[in-house]
């Protein structure tokens, strides 16, 4: 399992509003992940080794 570097975690925490703006403009899917350093959520576009959940059927 990859570990989040402490400097990356601090940078993502400091610029949360910039990260939110980037998420809005992003063309690809972003996935949340829980940081192993501070147990906070970050966003990533990395999909390698991650399973995509099966689509759910719409409610009637």
Residue 23 lies inside a defined structural domain of this protein: yes
Band of pLDDT at residue 27, cut at 50, 70 and 90? confident
For residue 17, being part of any structural domain is answered with yes
* Residue 6: DSSP 8-state: H
For the chain, the residue count is 60
Q: Considering the domain boundaries, does residue 10 fall inside one? A: yes
How confident is the model at residue 54, as a pLDDT? 74
Cα gap 33→39, rounded to integer Å:
9
Q: Evaluate whether residue 52 is within a structural domain.
A: no
Residues 22, 24, 27, 32, Cα dihedral to 10°: 80
Q: What is the mean pLDDT of residues 26-55?
A: 74
pLDDT of residue 2: 61
Count structural domains, the chain: 1
Domain that holds residue 10: 6-44
| Residue 37, domain member (yes or no) | yes
| Average pLDDT of every residue of the chain | 72
Q: Is residue 21 part of a domain?
A: yes
**What pLDDT sits at residue 28?**
75
């Amino acid at each position: 399992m990859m570990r989040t570097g402490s400097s990356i975690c601090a940078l993502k925490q400091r610029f949360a509003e910039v990260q939110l703006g980037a998420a809005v403009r992003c063309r690809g899917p972003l996935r949340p992940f829980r940081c192993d350093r501070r147990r906070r959520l970050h966003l990533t576009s990395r999909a390698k080794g991650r399973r995509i959940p099966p689509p759910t059927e719409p409610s009637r």
